């Protein structure tokens, strides 16, 4: 059991086999690609056929030294001397399964609730299959999909209840597009105890190339491990040094920054990206996202315009960005202003991994479940937070990302480190789109930031750069109001030097 590797767990389904493939062939190719455990699930097979199929698959798994577990059917497991079984809530009770199989066989249990997880842990399950994460057609379930947050809730309870080493995978709608997101988001206790792996069915069983499908899933699991290492404790002087490096790196790389943004600010955001040193592409057509994603360095998603076509484009772009490990900056404009808008943002955060969430106090407060500051249209209204840094930290921990909360002072947190940016000018609040341009600035620096393994610092660089540009623009003698400020603002983004950035940034660590 100490050697049980649950990282890539395959659940079979003969009904999904590609033309010309047999079940043993698919299992063999999947193991070559990195599958570490196989569960044989044949719900419609009679006993004789099930045993015959199990023996064929077992020949493959034993040759590769990969455990073979039988779904539900203890009689089949005993008949072929399988490595263990996986049972559901309506199958044979755990204690009876253990009595029949003995202490050395592997027994996994499907759980959907905290109580079921507690009972399985107390009963001595070797691992849990927590589900369902996303909607799936491969299995009938009593409760709807829980999303990564619900999976994390059950996993945390299992860890709390366990007096021994318990393992767990999650299952349900997991594929190459969301595997890293699920593993990163589902990590319990502030990301310190991640799940042991993912269980997949159609992502491998329905693929014409099972080996390549498994390899891609393994690559995504490797990505998820690196995501959990991106939030080390940082000191202020180290952050300032990294910020200078990231600022300089951008000007020498010219990242391609894709924007899906609202119609009011498209031109401003494109010009801001160019002025800062990036190359903007403004594309929201879902049909071209697969091709475009291979070239894009960073993606900025702004929910200011929520037509059906725009939402479809956002989902397609975010899906392919996750596949390529491309950083996403999400600006949840006016989340909380309407129930529909809140639902869309919630679903995006459930389905896709983001590097940064940037919003005003009302937007971040909504994501935190706070009512201290609320939304009126796109504006935040209210008396302000008693402790704004805790709101930013809370949202960062919940979504496993960097959170930027803009205002008179800008709060930036990854849940472990929290900083305040004190640069900026009140004129920024007097032009439309200044907040959206902050999202652009963050997204423009994010590719360079991830190259330095410092998304938190990249967000800080974006805010400082655009705020310094505002300070410089407001001091110009040719600026006489919002109209002239807008043009000068873009100019000063372009004119900002490394020396100015390094000398004038005002960052305080909390």
- Whether residues 352 and 498 share a domain: the answer is yes
Domain extent, residue 383, equals: 236-509
Please name which of 393, 405, 400, 410 lies closest in space to residue 465, comparing C-alpha atoms.
410
Interatomic CA distance for residues 2 and 159, integer angstroms = 17
Q: Is 436 a catalytic residue?
A: yes
Give every CB contact of residue 135 below 8 A, 6+ residues apart in sequence.
Answer: 144, 145, 172, 173
Interatomic CA distance for residues 217 and 7, integer angstroms = 10
Q: Where are the alpha helices (DSSP H) in 254-323?
A: 266-276, 289-293, 308-323
CB 458 within 8 A of CB 358: no
- Whether residues 115 and 251 share a domain: the answer is no
Per-residue pLDDT of the chain (510 residues; tens, 9 = 90+): 457 999 999 999 999 999 999 999 999 999 999 999 999 998 888 999 999 999 999 999 999 999 999 999 999 999 999 999 999 999 999 999 999 999 999 999 999 999 999 999 999 999 999 999 998 876 666 678 999 999 999 999 999 988 778 999 999 999 999 999 999 988 876 666 889 999 999 999 999 999 999 999 999 999 888 887 788 899 999 999 999 999 999 988 999 999 999 999 999 999 999 999 999 999 999 999 999 999 999 999 999 999 999 999 999 999 999 999 999 999 999 998 899 999 999 999 999 999 999 999 999 999 998 876 554 444 444 556 788 999 999 999 999 999 999 999 999 999 999 999 999 999 999 999 999 999 999 999 999 999 999 999 999 999 999 999 999 999 999 999 999 999 999 999 999 999 999 999 999 999
State the pTM of this model. Answer: 0.92
Residue 386: Cβ within 10 Å count: 9
**Domain CATH for 116:** 3.20.20.70
- Whether residues 315 and 383 share a domain: the answer is yes
Which residue in the list 133, 401, 436, 452 is annotated as catalytic?
436
Please, what is the angle between helix 308-323 and helix 339-351, to 10°?
A: 20
Residue 68 lies in a domain: yes
**Domain CATH for 417:** 3.40.1190.20
CB 444 within 8 A of CB 401: no
Number of domains in the chain: 2
- Whether residues 263 and 218 share a domain: the answer is no
């Amino acid at each position: 059991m100490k050697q049980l590797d649950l990282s890539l767990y395959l659940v079979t389904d003969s009904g999904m086999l590609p033309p010309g493939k047999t079940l043993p062939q698919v299992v063999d190719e999947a193991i070559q690609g990195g599958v570490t455990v196989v569960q044989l699930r044949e719900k419609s097979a009679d006993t004789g056929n099930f045993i015959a199929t199990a023996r064929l698959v077992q020949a493959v798994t034993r040759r590769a030294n990969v455990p073979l577990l039988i779904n539900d059917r203890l009689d089949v497991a005993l008949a072929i001397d399988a490595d263990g079984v996986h049972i559901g809530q309506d199958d044979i009770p755990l204690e009876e399964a253990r009595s029949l199989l003995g202490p050395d066989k592997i027994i996994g249990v499907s759980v959907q609730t905290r109580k079921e997880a507690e009972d399985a842990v107390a009963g001595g399950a070797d691992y849990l299959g927590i589900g369902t994460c996303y909607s799936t057609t491969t299995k009938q379930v009593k409760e709807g999909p829980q999303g990564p947050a619900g999976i994390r809730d059950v996993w945390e309870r299992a860890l709390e209840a366990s007096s021994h080493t318990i393992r767990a995978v999650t299952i349900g709608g997991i594929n190459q597009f969301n595997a890293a997101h699920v593993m990163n988001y589902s990590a319990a206790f502030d990301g310190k105890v991640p799940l042991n792996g993912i269980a997949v069915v159609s992502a491998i069983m329905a693929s014409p190339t099972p080996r390549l499908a498994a390899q891609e899933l393994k690559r995504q699991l490797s990505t998820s491990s690196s995501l959990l290492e991106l939030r080390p404790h940082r000191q202020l002087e180290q952050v300032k040094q990294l910020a200078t490096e990231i600022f300089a790196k951008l000007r020498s790389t010219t990242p391609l920054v894709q924007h899906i943004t609202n119609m009011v600010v498209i031109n401003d955001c494109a010009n801001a990206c160019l002025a800062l040193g990036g190359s903007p592409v403004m594309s929201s057509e879902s049909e071209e996202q697969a091709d475009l994603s291979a070239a894009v360095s960073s993606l900025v998603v702004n929910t200011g315009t929520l037509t059906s076509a725009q939402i479809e484009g956002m989902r397609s772009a975010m899906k392919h960005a996750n596949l390529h490990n491309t950083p996403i900056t999400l600006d949840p404009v006016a989340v909380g202003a309407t129930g529909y808008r809140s639902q869309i943002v919630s679903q995006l955060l459930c389905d896709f991994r983001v590097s940064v969430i940037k919003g005003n106090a009302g937007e971040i407060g909504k994501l935190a479940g706070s009512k201290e500051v609320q939304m009126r249209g796109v504006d935040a209204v209210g008396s302000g937070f008693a402790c704004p840094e805790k709101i930013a930290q809370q949202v960062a921990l919940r979504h496993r990302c960097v959170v930027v909360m803009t205002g008179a002072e800008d709060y930036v947190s990854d849940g472990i480190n929290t900083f305040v940016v004190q640069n900026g000018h009140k004129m920024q609040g007097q032009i439309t789109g200044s907040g959206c341009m902050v999202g652009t600035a963050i997204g423009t620096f994010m590719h360079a930031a991830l190259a330095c393994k410092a998304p938190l610092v990249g967000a800080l660089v974006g805010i400082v750069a655009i705020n310094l540009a505002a300070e410089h623009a407001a001091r110009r003698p040719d600026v006489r109001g919002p109209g002239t400020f807008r043009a000068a603002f873009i100019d000063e983004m372009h004119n900002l030097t490394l020396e100015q950035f390094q000398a004038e940034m005002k960052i305080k660590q909390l």
